[in-house]
Amino acid sequence: MHTGHEVPVWHLSFAQRTLLGFGFLAVRGERMCYDSSVPHTRFFGNACDAALLREGVAEVPLSPETWEKLQYLARLELTPEEKVRMERELGELLAYVSSLRQLPLDGVSPMILPVEVEPVLRADVPEVFPSREELLRNAPEVQDGAFVVPNVLEE
C-alpha cells in the first residue's frame, strides 16, 4: 500500500485512504508525496533549526528589467542600498516558493475561498451614502467636491 511514489490522495477511494491513514501510523515519519531534499522541509525535519534553514535557502536573482518593472507596477522606488537588501530578501522568498513549481497538481482546481459560501446578490435599489462629509473628510485635497491631484502626464 505505502509505496512512496507520488499519489495525490484524492485519487484514492475512501477505503484506500483509510488504509493509507493506517499506513501512516504504521510507518511513522516516512514521507509520501514530497521531496525532503528541498531545503525548507528541513524545518519540519529532524535535522536542524532556523539558522540551518536560512543557510539552506539559496537566492534567485532578479534581472534589472524585472526589477524596474516591479517597481513601476508597484509604484515604489527604492534607494540603491534598499535595493540590495530587498533583492536579497525577494530572492530568498522566491527560492522558498520555487518548490511549488514541481508539485504534481493535475486535476486540482484553484482554491479561491477556503469554504463553500452561498452567493448572495444584491437587488438593484439605490441608497445614497448618508454622510458625504465623513466620506470626504479624509481627502488630502478637494475642490467643489472633486478630488484634486497634480497633473496627469499623458493626454
Partner 1 sequence: MDEISVLAWRSRIASGEAVPEDVARYYLEAIAARDPEIHAFLLVREEVREEARNLKVEDRDALPFFGIPVAVKDNFLTRGVRTTAGSRMLETYVPPVDATAWEHLAHGGALLLGKTNLDEFAMGVSTETSAFGPTRNPWDPARRSGGSSGGSAAAVAAGLSPLALGSDTGGSVRQPAAYTGIVGFKPTYGLISRYGLIPMAASLDTVGVFSRTVVDAAYAFVHIAGSDPKDPTSFGKLPPTFADRLAELRRLAYPARAERLRALLSRGVSGTKVALVREFFGGGVSPEVRGVVEAAARRMEELGARVEYVSVPELELAGAVYAVVMSAEAASHLGRFDGVRFGLRVPAENVDALYVRTRNRGFGWEAKRRILFGTYVTLSESFVDLYERALRARRFLASRLETIFADYDFLLGPTTPTTAPTLGAAGDQGPVVELTQDLLTIPANLAGLPAVSVPAGRGSDGMPVGLQIVGPRYSDLDVLAFAFAWEEARPPEARPPFGGKAAAPSPWEGGNGR
Partner 2 sequence: MSAVREEARATEYEAVIGFEVHVELATATKLFCLCPTTFGAPPNAHTCPICLGHPGTLPLLNERAVEYALRAALALGCEIERRVHFDRKHYFYPDLPKAYQMSQVHAPIGRNGALTIEVGGRTKVVRIREMHLEEDAGKSVHLPGEAGTLIDLNRAGVPLIEIVTEPDISSPEEARAFLEELRLTMLYLGISDVRMEEGSLRADANVSVRPKGSSVLGSKVEVKNLNSISGVERALAYEIERQISLLRRGERVVSETRRWDEGRRLTFPMRQKFGGEDYRPIHDPEVVPYVLEESYVERVRAQLLELPQKRRKRLQEAYGLSAYDAGVLTANRELGDLFEAGVREGAPPKPLANWLMSEFLGYVNERGLAVRDVPITPRQWAELLALIENGTISTKIAKTVFQRMAESGRDPREIVESEGLVQIADPKTLREIVDRVLAANPKSVEDYRKGKEKALGFLVGQVMRETRGKANPKLVNQLLREALGEPGGA
Question: Whose Cβ is closer to partner 2: residue 26's or residue 97's?
Answer: 97
Among partner 1, partner 2, none, what does residue 145 contact (CB within 5–8 Å per kind)?
partner 2
Q: Could you say which of 9, 61, 68, 84 contacts partner 1 (CB under 8 A)? A: 9
Q: Could you say which of 3, 75, 144, 155 contacts partner 1 (CB under 8 A)? A: 75
Local structure of residue 109 (DSSP, 8 states):
P
What whole-number distance in Å separates Cα of residue 99 and Cα of residue 95?
A: 8
Q: ∠ CA(31), CA(54), CA(67), 5° rounding?
A: 110
Three-state DSSP class for residue 155: coil
What whole-number distance in Å separates Cα of residue 30 and Cα of residue 40?
A: 17
Contact 70, 89 (CB under 8 A): no
Binding mask 29-68 for partner 2 (x = CB under 8 A): ----------------------------------------
What whole-number distance in Å separates Cα of residue 70 and Cα of residue 30?
A: 41
Residues in the chain: 155
Binding mask 104-133 for partner 2 (x = CB under 8 A): ------x-xx---xxxxxxxxxxxxx--x-
* Residues numbered 73-92 forming contacts with partner 2, rule: CB under 8 A: 73, 75
Interface with partner 2, residue 72, by CB under 8 A: yes
* Min dist. Cβ of residue 96 to partner 2 (A): 20
